[in-house]
Amino acid sequence: MEANHTEKLLWSEEFADHATSKLDANTWNMELGDGSEAGLVGWGNNEREFYTNDSIIVKDSLTIHAIHQGANSPIQAYYGPAEWTSGKIHTAKKVGFKYGRLEVRAKMPIGQGTWPAIWLLGTSLNDGVSWPECGEIDIFEGTGAHPFQVQGTVHGPGYCGNEGLTKLIQTERLLSDDFHTYAISWHEDSIEWLFDGVAYNKIMRGDTELQGKAWPFNDEFYLIINLAIGGWFAGEVDTNLRAAQLEIEWIKYYSENGIGELFLH
């Protein structure tokens, strides 16, 4: 880190300090269902989980529990009885971020078919701008099929889905063995990804604009954390898998050299 580099903590969520087992409703929204009500059946990815309130528990950490429900599940998903329940939360219209350094301390799930994600979407999505024009920044996205793999990606117009700008690295230990810090250092003309404080990917504004494609990352974004099961990215789910969990110890947001803006709605 540069000698003159300065950071200022603008916002944090320390889940071990929570007085109750519930999330702060002034910060977090619960996403529910299988995406059908949002017009995204299977959340647009053929996912198998059904998001519920009781899949999320706060006790020493925030834990998203994915539980296999079996063929007799009373919950109806788009494909029939819901095979899995899980959890998804986000800060839309409550807490937003623009530039700076965002860090999440997390322990990943294990098991073929798990799909944990810590990501950001542009708030313009709530104002009628469609995806991927609103922009998406994946701080971390992984699967149980690749339990040693860390991946950071951006999606925008002309580079989304399988064409997102991305890089991945391999770790020496399973990401499910312990907590690690997943972070981005985000500025007007660049986004850099870090794993346990070490940078491993940097995408520049010129990387898109030289190809005539927009850079939709200079506005407010909101944070999303979820544990999906199955879908195009995660692949087939292990038929013997019965449970998985994504744990979040804390989230911290800093300005860097005075750059970084927190929005509280």
The domain containing residue 162 runs over which residues?
7-16+89-264
The average confidence (pLDDT) of the chain is: 96
Residue 195 forms part of a structural domain: yes
The SS3 call for residue 209 is helix
Residue 126 forms part of a structural domain: yes
Number of domains in the chain: 1
Cα 135 to Cα 216: distance, rounded to the nearest angstrom: 5
DSSP 224-261: EEEEEEBSTTT-SPPTT--EEEEEEEEEEEEEETTB-E
The SS3 call for residue 140 is strand
Residue 260 forms part of a structural domain: yes
Residue 222: CATH number of its domain: 2.60.120.200
Catalytic residue among 13, 103, 141, 256: 141
Place 2 in a pLDDT band, splitting at 50, 70 and 90: low
Per-residue tokens: 5: 């580099």
Place 71 in a pLDDT band, splitting at 50, 70 and 90: confident
Check: pTM over 0.85? Answer yes or no: yes
For 136-190, the pLDDT digits (tens) are 999 999 999 999 999 999 999 999 999 999 999 999 999 999 999 999 999 999 9
Query: For the residues 108-130, what does the mean pLDDT come to?
Result: 97
Residue 79 forms part of a structural domain: no
Cis amide leading into 132 (omega within 30)? yes
Residue 40 class from Cβ within 10 Å (0-12 exposed, 13-18 middle, 19+ buried)? Answer: middle
* Residue 2 annotated in active site: no
Residue 106 forms part of a structural domain: yes
Q: Higher pLDDT residue, 260 or 22?
A: 260
**How far is it between the farthest Cα atoms of the chain?**
60
Which DSSP state fits 129?
Answer: P
CB-side exposure of 30: number of CA atoms within 13 Å? 17
CB-side exposure of 164: number of CA atoms within 13 Å? 20
* Residue 136 annotated in active site: yes
Residue 233 forms part of a structural domain: yes
Residue 172 forms part of a structural domain: yes
Cα 126 to Cα 222: distance, rounded to the nearest angstrom: 11
For 179-231, the pLDDT digits (tens) are 999 999 999 999 999 999 999 999 999 999 989 999 999 999 999 999 999 99
Q: Higher pLDDT residue, 233 or 70?
A: 233
Place of tokens 């916002």: 11
Q: H or E segment at 207?
A: helix 205-209
Residue 213 forms part of a structural domain: yes
Catalytic residue among 13, 47, 49, 136: 136
* Residue 263 neighbours by CB under 8 Å, 6+ apart: 95, 96, 97, 98, 220
CB-side exposure of 180: number of CA atoms within 13 Å? 23
